[in-house]
Every structure is written in structure tokens, then in C-alpha cells.
Structure 1
Amino acid sequence: MGALKNIVAAAGILAAAGIGETAYFYNRTMKRGNAKTDRTIKMSGTDWAKYYPLMEKRKEYVLAQTHRDVSITSFDGLKLHATYFPAVEDGEHGNISDVKKAVICFHGYTGEGLSNHVAIADYFLKRGYAMLMPDARAHGESEGEYIGFGCLDRQDALGWINWMIQELGEDVKIMLHGTSMGGATVLMTSGLELPANVKGIVSDCGFTSPKEVFTYVLNHMYHLPAFPAIQGADLLNKKLAGYGMDECNAKYEVEKAKVPILFIHGSADTFVPCSMCHEIYDHCRSPKRKVIIEGAAHAESYYKDMETYEKALTEFMEEIMQ
């Protein structure tokens, strides 16, 4: 009888510990305000300090261009914010008045639209693209308490696509670009019925699903088992945020994709492993390209080898925007 009591007591302690671990993981990972940018940067392992001079130089140019704040209401009633830059006429790479081209850029986990895209905005604006840089739900100036991890954000992306069509007209040609969580978002969006205006997608270091990427992080970065934190967080998220953490998986969504996709990933990414890029690429059924930037850490590919990255972008855009 004493042994049975000990077993029951031990089981109770383990269950309580599991609940505590789940709550701790969920609150610091999935909720606005608790998911910290500095912690994400540290986990990603990318040394951003060496790129600050470039970022500041490009920020000066980008912010000098005409831009404004815009908003839409999400499918579940949230006010979502974005920064919009009209196309620059007679830019460095020629006049763009004959073709309406636009790119919508989706940022990563704990990031913000404008601040995360000032470097690559220089590239797009000088090539005559209008740009829209949304703040994901529960990020920046957008409303929301729970982070969407692409699963909810893909519906928000559809809203921004429709906003761009209303802004620039039915003849506008749109490309989607996303990095990290934004990369997962655009890949998950590829499985939806998209307007014909969407001509292509670029995913930079996108992951398969929140469940799989956080399992990887717990196992490989913290050397902890995924159970019970991930399973518990999945149940909590279904109840609180309305979606399961593996409910929408990029590798399955690209099986339904109809638009061309360019995959970019850094070979030295320890946050979202490069193997995820290969896995999603292998599942993709639409026209596809893949560029692996050697030695690039998480979200570093553009900065690590700008020449290769921009060449891949230019070739891809010249093909899809015809």
C-alpha cells in the first residue's frame, strides 16, 4: 500500500512538472510580449552586428522614399498594420511605368515589417517594385495576442494580397517574399486558392511547421525532449489561438502550389535546419528553384552572399513577371 502511494505521488509530481513545463514553454513562445526579440536573435546564432553599417545606410535611402501606414481587418477581426511604399519611378534600374509590379514581404518570429526589410527594400525599390511590409499578427503595430506561425498568417497574407490588388488594380503582378516565419507563411499561403495576380513566391529559411521547428530547437539546442511541452502547447494553442501547431505544414501545402517557388536557405542555419528546406522543396509540385548559401546562418543569406542572392532573385523575377 505504501509503495502504491509513492507511485501515485510520483505520478502526480511528474504530471504537475509536465503542466508547468508546458505552461512555461507556451507563455514564452506563443504569446505577444513574452516572445522576446533579443532571445530570438541569441537562439538564431546569427552575428548581426557586422551588418549594422549596411542596414543603416540602406535604411536612410528607404525611409527617404514615399511611404505610408496602411491597415486591414483580419478574418478574425484583428486590425493588421503594414508599411506601403509605392513604386519608385525612373529608379536606378529604369522606368517602371509600363508594368505594375509589387512585392509583399513577410518578416520572421518577433520581428517587424519595416525594420526587418530595410536592406532588401533597397533592392526591390530600385527595380521599380511597389512594396508592402506587414507586421504579422501579435507583432509590431498589428493587433493580436497569439502568434500565428504561418498557420493563421497565411489567411492574413491573402488579405494583404487583396489589398494590393485594390490599391494598384487588377493588372498588378505580385510576388510574395518571406523570411523564417515569414518564409513559412508564404509557403503555407501557396496551398490556398490565390488570385492570378500572384506570380511567384520566395521563401528564405522557411520551416515546415511550428511543431517541427520547436521540436528541433528543444532537441538540438536545449537537449530537452519535446514531450510533454510540445504536445501540451499544441492542446493549449488549439483552445486559445484556434489552430494546432502541426495543423498547417509547409511541406504539405506546397504539394498544392500552382505558382513558381524560389527556395533560399543558409547551409549553416542552426535554428531552422537546412534539411527542412530540402524536405519542403522535395514535396513542392509547382515549378521550383533552390539556392543554398554556403556558410550562412539563420536569415543571413542575403547579407552573407548578396551577389548570389540578388542574382537568384533577378533571374526568378524576370521569369515570373513576364
Structure 2
Amino acid sequence: MKNKGLLLKVSTGLAAVSFLFSEYLFKISFKRVDHVPETSQEKQKYAASYWEYVDWFRRINKEHWTFQTKNETERMSAYFIPSKEENSKKVVIIAHGYKGNGETMSSYAKMFYEMGFNVLLPDDRGHGQSMGEYISFGWLDRLDYLQWLKKIIKRVGPKSEILLFGVSMGASTVEMLSGEDLPSQVKCVIADCGYSSIDEEMTFLLKHHYHLPKYPFYPLVSTINRYRLGYYLGDVSSVEQLKKNKLPIFFIHGENDDYVPSYMSLENYEATTAAKELWIVNNATHAESYWLDPLEYKKRIKDFLNKYFNDKN
């Protein structure tokens, strides 16, 4: 009886510790951010260029767009940069990465702006000026983007031609959005270093960054997410959404990505039966493909757009 009592106490203690640590993991991973964390040491070499793009974004003429959420007490926020080309119908929605915001995508915004696009830069849930106590890793954001699409078509007109573009979490956001019933004005998708599912991504990070097993932590974090946000993490899958995608899509991924491994883009590529292209960028780490060679990055995107978007880029 003493052994059984001791075993019960130990089991209960381990369960309590596992739950507390899972709650800690949820908070550090899913809690909203009100400032953009400093970039990694390896990417500090791009800092000067990055801040030049941010300065451009802050000076460029733009409109602040919002819409209210269902409860009408909080709002989503985005900035719209009108094209430099008068009456341009081309629009790109640029989805930012984890713990970023629209401003952090200034380099991509300038790239597309120079191609004659109107540019929309949303702040996703739990980021920047948008509402949300927690980060949804693109799952709820994909539904918010349906609202942004409506606002774009109203602003630019029914002849709008819309490109979906995202990096990291933003790539997965547009990948998951591609599986929804989209307006005909959406023409194609570009996804740079998106994950295949939160299940795979969290399992990878637990093993390689925290040196922890998937069980019991992932199921506990998933259960906490279900309680806080209304869905299990197993629901969040680029692969499953891409199976429904009908749009041409260009997958980009850094060969040396140790945050979202490049095999996830291979899984995403295999999942879709629509027209598709894949570029694995030699020597690039996570979200570094643009910064490693901006001219080649722009060329590859223009080549894709020439095939699937229009013939004017």
C-alpha cells in the first residue's frame, strides 16, 4: 500500500509539472506580442538595409484600414499603400511572420510597390495594432484575410487582380487561406518558408530547440489552445488546406532553415495539385532567402508572375 501511495503521489506530481510546463510553453509561444523582438545574431548583418526599408514604409503615402471583429469591441488593423501606377488593379496582400507586424515586411512591400502593385500589410491577431490576446499561427488569420479581400475589392474595384504573399507564419497563413472559397480576383500565391502543420512545427521545435519529447507536452498545449482559442492544434494544417487549393503557387524555402525545416515546403508542394513551383535557396536560413540575394529573389518572383499573374511585370 505504501508503494502504491508513493507511486500515486509521484504520478500526480509529474502530471502537475507537465501541465505547468505546458502552460508555460503556451504562454511564451501563443501570448500576443506588443513589440517586435530583436532579430537573431546571424541576421544582424542585414539590419542597416532592414531599417532603410522601414524608413521608406513610414514615409510612403498610405491608408490605415480597420474592421471590427464579430463582438464589435475590438478591431483588426492593416496599412494600404496605393500603387505608384495610376489606376493599377494589381494588389498584393503581404502576410508577416511570427511576432512581427506589417511594418516588418517593408522590404517585400517596397519590392512589390516597385512592380506597380497596391500593397496591403495586415497586422495579424495578437500582433501590432490588431486585436487578440493570443497568436493563432495563421488559422484564425486566414478568416480575417477574407475580410481584407472584401475591402480590397471594394477599394480597388471588381477588376482587382490579387496576389497572396507571406513569409514564415505568413506563408502558412496564405497557404491555409488558399484552401478557402476565394473571390475570383485572387490569382496566385507565393509562400516563403511556411510550415506544413503546427503539429509538425511544434514537434520539431520541442525536439530541436527545447530537447523535449512530443508527449505529453504537445497534447497538453493543444488542449490549452482548445480552451483558449476554440480549436485543437491538429486543425492547423497547411497541407490539408493546400489539398483544396486551385491557385498557382510558388513555394520558396531556405536550404539551411533550422526553425521551419525545408522538408515542410516539400510536403506543402506535394499536397497541392494546382500549378506549382518550388525554389530551395542554397545556404539560406529561416526567412533569409530575400536578404541573401534580393535581385535573384525578385527575378524568380517576376518569372512566376509572368506565367501566372499577368504579362506586365
Asked if TM exceeds 0.5, the reply is: yes
The answer to whether 1:110 aligns with 2:110 is no
The answer to whether 1:59 aligns with 2:54 is yes
Q: What residue is the counterpart of 2:77 in the other structure?
A: 81
Q: Aligned AA for 2:91?
A: A
Q: TM-score, normalised by structure 1?
A: 0.91
Tell me which of 142, 146, 153 is aligned to 1:165.
153
Asked if the contact 2:93–2:121 (Cα under 8 Å) also holds between the matched residues in 1, the reply is: yes
In the alignment, the residues of structure 2 paired with residue 12 and residue 306 of structure 1 have an alpha-carbon distance, to the nearest angstrom, of 54
In the alignment, the residues of structure 1 paired with residue 30 and residue 200 of structure 2 have an alpha-carbon distance, to the nearest angstrom, of 15
1:122 shift after superposition:
1.7
Q: What residue is the counterpart of 2:265 in the other structure?
A: 277
Please, which moves more after superposition, 16-25 or 191-200? 16-25
1:153 shift after superposition:
0.8
Q: Number of paired residues? A: 309
The answer to whether 1:209 aligns with 2:208 is no
Q: What residue is the counterpart of 2:26 in the other structure?
A: 26
Asked if the contact 2:94–2:121 (Cα under 8 Å) also holds between the matched residues in 1, the reply is: yes
Q: Aligned AA for 2:82?
A: P
Unaligned 5+ segments in structure 2 are none
Q: Aligned AA for 2:83?
A: A
In the alignment, the residues of structure 1 paired with residue 71 and residue 7 of structure 2 have an alpha-carbon distance, to the nearest angstrom, of 46
1:163-312 correspondence runs (5 A): 163-312=151-300
Asked if the contact 1:212–1:246 (Cα under 8 Å) also holds between the matched residues in 2, the reply is: no
Q: Aligned AA for 1:72?
A: F
Asked if the contact 2:35–2:128 (Cα under 8 Å) also holds between the matched residues in 1, the reply is: no
In the alignment, the residues of structure 2 paired with residue 48 and residue 88 of structure 1 have an alpha-carbon distance, to the nearest angstrom, of 31
**Counterpart secondary structure, 2:258:** coil
Tell me which of 51, 60, 71 is aligned to 2:66.
71
Please, which moves more after superposition, 311-320 or 174-183? 311-320
Q: Aligned AA for 2:157?
A: G
Q: Aligned AA for 1:112?
A: N
1:251 shift after superposition:
0.8
In the alignment, the residues of structure 1 paired with residue 69 and residue 171 of structure 2 have an alpha-carbon distance, to the nearest angstrom, of 20
Give the alignment's Cα RMSD to 1 decimal.
1.7
In the alignment, the residues of structure 2 paired with residue 233 and residue 76 of structure 1 have an alpha-carbon distance, to the nearest angstrom, of 26
1:127 shift after superposition:
1.3
In the alignment, the residues of structure 2 paired with residue 258 and residue 55 of structure 1 have an alpha-carbon distance, to the nearest angstrom, of 34
Q: Aligned AA for 1:129?
A: F
Q: What residue is the counterpart of 2:130 in the other structure?
A: 142
Residues 1:291 and 1:208: Cα distance change in structure 2 (over 3 Å): same
Residues 1:75 and 1:249: Cα distance change in structure 2 (over 3 Å): farther
Paired-residue identity, %: 33
1:316 shift after superposition:
1.4
1:57 shift after superposition:
2.7
Q: TM-score, normalised by structure 2?
A: 0.94
Asked if the contact 1:82–1:113 (Cα under 8 Å) also holds between the matched residues in 2, the reply is: yes
Residues 1:3 and 1:61: Cα distance change in structure 2 (over 3 Å): closer
In the alignment, the residues of structure 1 paired with residue 8 and residue 56 of structure 2 have an alpha-carbon distance, to the nearest angstrom, of 65
Q: C-alpha deviations, 1:155-213, integer Å up to 9, x for none?
A: 01111111111110000100011111111000000110100000011101101222221
In the alignment, the residues of structure 2 paired with residue 262 and residue 75 of structure 1 have an alpha-carbon distance, to the nearest angstrom, of 33
1:68 shift after superposition:
2.0
Asked if the contact 1:206–1:272 (Cα under 8 Å) also holds between the matched residues in 2, the reply is: yes
**Counterpart secondary structure, 2:234:** coil
In the alignment, the residues of structure 2 paired with residue 64 and residue 319 of structure 1 have an alpha-carbon distance, to the nearest angstrom, of 33
In the alignment, the residues of structure 1 paired with residue 185 and residue 71 of structure 2 have an alpha-carbon distance, to the nearest angstrom, of 24
**Counterpart secondary structure, 1:71:** strand
Please, which moves more after superposition, 75-84 or 203-212? 75-84
In the alignment, the residues of structure 2 paired with residue 110 and residue 148 of structure 1 have an alpha-carbon distance, to the nearest angstrom, of 11
**Counterpart secondary structure, 2:280:** strand
Q: Aligned AA for 1:80?
A: M
1:76 shift after superposition:
6.0
Asked if the contact 1:151–1:243 (Cα under 8 Å) also holds between the matched residues in 2, the reply is: no
**Counterpart secondary structure, 2:64:** strand
1:36 shift after superposition:
7.4
